[in-house]
Structure 1
Amino acid sequence: MSRIVVTGGAGRLGRSLVAGLAAAGHELTSLDRTRADALALPGVEQVAVDLTDPDAASRAIAAARADALVHLAAIAVPFSAPEDVILRTNATLALNVLSAGIEAGIPKLVTASSPTVLGYGAPTGWLPDRFPLDEDTPPRPWNAYALSKHLGEQTIAMLARQTGDATRFAAFRPCYVIAPEEWAGAPTQQGHTVLERLDDPALSAPALFNYVDARDVATFIDTLLDALGDIPNAEVFFVGADDALAREPLARLLPQFVPGSDELAAGLTGTAPAFSNAKAGRLLGWRPAHSWRGALGEAPEPDTASEAFRPARSSRVLSGEERAVSKSARRPGADLPRPERTR
């Protein structure tokens, strides 16, 4: 098992990720401005630090003596601060943290991005070239938060060009994160319950009905870190559920909220989501184990629902880069703690 440092570990996704990785047997150091009671767990160290200070970031990250670093720390909600503050803060955090990771000799560096880099919801209108959306969909950020996340992706690409294969990088775009207690009725990040988001499609429409269970984010990161040396450097991945957070097919719903998308969305029948997680499956062998139907008792979860998985990868190359993989089960992961606040 590895020693992993997570920035923003006291935040909403951070707490779930740290807990999930600790349950998988890793040693964790959480770096954030504050400590979280929910992270008072065996194998988890918490350090309060201002990561916008490059010297403080360098000292804290070097002291962690980590094998891998996952960067989450950010102003995490669009328009929750002035646009210049969001852009400056998030861009500074990404450069400080990732540069400090290189200086500390950490061989695996991962940064959190966002599906919002694609630009949906723009007030001037937005249409993609096709659905489902994937990593080849061109980014078109229209606000400072989305731009800052796109800059984070470009930052790992820049640093990979500087370091070559000496350091391995990746970025991931987690869909709308839902923690286990939120399936039971706790408010989600926007203040609505999951049932309210399902009963009123207008609540999930701004995110194009995307979502992912927090436990699946933890297994994705565990799988990604294990695979980083075997895949192309500085890859970007969508991390989402296999279905949409909607009771109706998106072929019917999306045209109501994305004008002009009728033909583009026509193929999103059944439970198909607007965002594809296929790349993570091809390169890593990862699949989400949870769905809203299983979590809410409207359909059974897959047999793997209570387990975390680490794929056993083979080296067969697909399309010049992609690897065919098989999976082998690993031990069950523990339930994740309830967030105290959103981040």
Structure 2
Amino acid sequence: MRVLVTGGSGRLGRSVVEVFARRGHEVTSVDAFPGPERPGVEFRKADLLDDEARAQVFADVRPEAVAHLAGIAVPHARPGAETVAVNARLAWGVLDDARAHGAHSVAAASSPTVFGYGSADWTPERLPLDEGHPVAPVHAYGLSKAVIEEAVRTLARTSDGGCVFTAVRPGYVIAPEEWEGAPTQQGHTVAERLARPELAAASLFNYIDAEDAAELFALIAEDRSGAAQGRVLHAIAEDPMAEGPLSDLLPRFHPGTAAAAASLAPGQAAFSSAQAQRLLGWAPRHTWRERLRS
């Protein structure tokens, strides 16, 4: 299958490209910057905000499936207006071009930050958070991801069924080199994240191994049942990145979670990825315990 990965040189993109290639697909990675070279993977440098350049990529590659990861990747990296404009415009352009050029599957990267847990007084309706929990973003990055999810739903509603549109919310992505001690996206290591709970608390102690998340993008592309049409799917590990139970830890950093956190069992994460398991048979295979200590 011909697969186009936008943002294929990024933290998650490198693993998505690798997993698709490993599964025997014909992969093209498009990015503003080159990633690691891999036999059988074509790299295209392009500005996907340029409508003509983007259309040319689609015309040349003629992808059957698209994994859309390109965009401003972390909160507060750019001014708010730029973050919303870039991420929303990129997503609509890529998703709409994918449909126009005959792709049968498009999966766009969203984020669990749409829940708005960055707010000091954030109070969830329930824990663990599933895809049905209301979203309430509190910063521009979260808003941009909520817009991407709405674009997915809009195109799914207006599609004739020939293309399946899905949004994926990967957790705090840990790339392969980061398990070995390289800094994560916030500039500290995984070991520091465990030793200082306030670091992981900012994201409710969630994480996901990059290859595990990549496998969900591959399963979406390979599925021909249409089960994921218009869906949002979590790609988050089933255990928290924490040494202690979240029923104790979450209220320390997010007081509004106290009532909901009390229902979490020891070792249970604040997020559920059960929908991806139910629809596509996906489950994360790696935990920080075996990845960090291997």
If the length of structure 2 is used for normalisation, what is the TM-score? 0.97
Decide whether the 8 Å contact of 2:4 with 2:63 is kept in 1: yes
Q: What root-mean-square deviation, in Å, do the aligned CA atoms of Structure 1 and Structure 2 show?
A: 1.3
Q: What secondary structure is seen at the aligned counterpart in 2 of 1:165? A: coil
Q: Within 2, Cα distance between the matches of 1:12 and 1:163?
A: 31
Q: Corresponding residue for 1:118?
A: 115
Decide whether the 8 Å contact of 2:166 with 2:228 is kept in 1: no
More strand by share: 1
Cα deviations by residue, 1:228-279 (Å, 9 ceiling, x for unpaired):
5341511110001110000000000000011132221012221100010111
Q: Corresponding residue for 1:7?
A: 6
Decide whether the 8 Å contact of 2:122 with 2:256 is kept in 1: no
User: 193, 196, 204: which one pairs with 1:197?
Assistant: 193
Q: Do the aligned partners of residues 233 and 261 (structure 1) sit closer, same or farther apart at CA in structure 2, a change above 3 Å counting?
A: same
Q: Corresponding residue for 1:284?
A: 280
Decide whether the 8 Å contact of 1:168 with 1:229 is kept in 2: no
Q: Corresponding residue for 1:56?
A: 53
Match for 1:258: what amino acid?
H
Are 1:271 and 2:267 counterparts?
Answer: yes
Q: Do the aligned partners of residues 54 and 229 (structure 1) sit closer, same or farther apart at CA in structure 2, a change above 3 Å counting?
A: farther
Match for 1:28: what amino acid?
V
Q: Within 2, Cα distance between the matches of 1:103 and 1:16?
A: 27
Match for 1:184: what amino acid?
E
Q: Within 1, Cα distance between the matches of 2:228 and 2:166?
A: 9
Q: Corresponding residue for 2:22?
A: 23
Q: Within 1, Cα distance between the matches of 2:128 and 2:267?
A: 12
Match for 2:87: what amino acid?
N
Cα deviations by residue, 1:280-314 (Å, 9 ceiling, x for unpaired):
1111111111001111338xxxxxxxxxxxxxxxx
Q: Within 2, Cα distance between the matches of 1:81 and 1:196?
A: 25
- For residues 309-320 of structure 1, what are the structure 2 equivalents within 5 Å? none
Q: What secondary structure is seen at the aligned counterpart in 1 of 2:30? A: strand
Q: Corresponding residue for 2:143?
A: 147
More deviation, 219-228/84-93: 219-228
Decide whether the 8 Å contact of 2:234 with 2:273 is kept in 1: yes
Q: Within 2, Cα distance between the matches of 1:228 and 1:174?
A: 22
Are 1:41 and 2:25 counterparts?
Answer: no
Q: Which runs of 5+ in 2 are unaligned?
A: none
Are 1:75 and 2:72 counterparts?
Answer: yes
Q: What secondary structure is seen at the aligned counterpart in 2 of 1:164? A: coil
Q: Within 1, Cα distance between the matches of 2:224 and 2:253?
A: 38
Q: Within 2, Cα distance between the matches of 1:224 and 1:119?
A: 26
Q: Within 2, Cα distance between the matches of 1:107 and 1:212?
A: 27
Q: Within 2, Cα distance between the matches of 1:134 and 1:280?
A: 11
Q: Within 2, Cα distance between the matches of 1:71 and 1:219?
A: 14
Decide whether the 8 Å contact of 2:88 with 2:148 is kept in 1: yes
Q: Do the aligned partners of residues 231 and 91 (structure 1) sit closer, same or farther apart at CA in structure 2, a change above 3 Å counting?
A: same
More deviation, 178-187/276-285: 178-187
User: 101, 104, 122: which one pairs with 2:101?
Assistant: 104
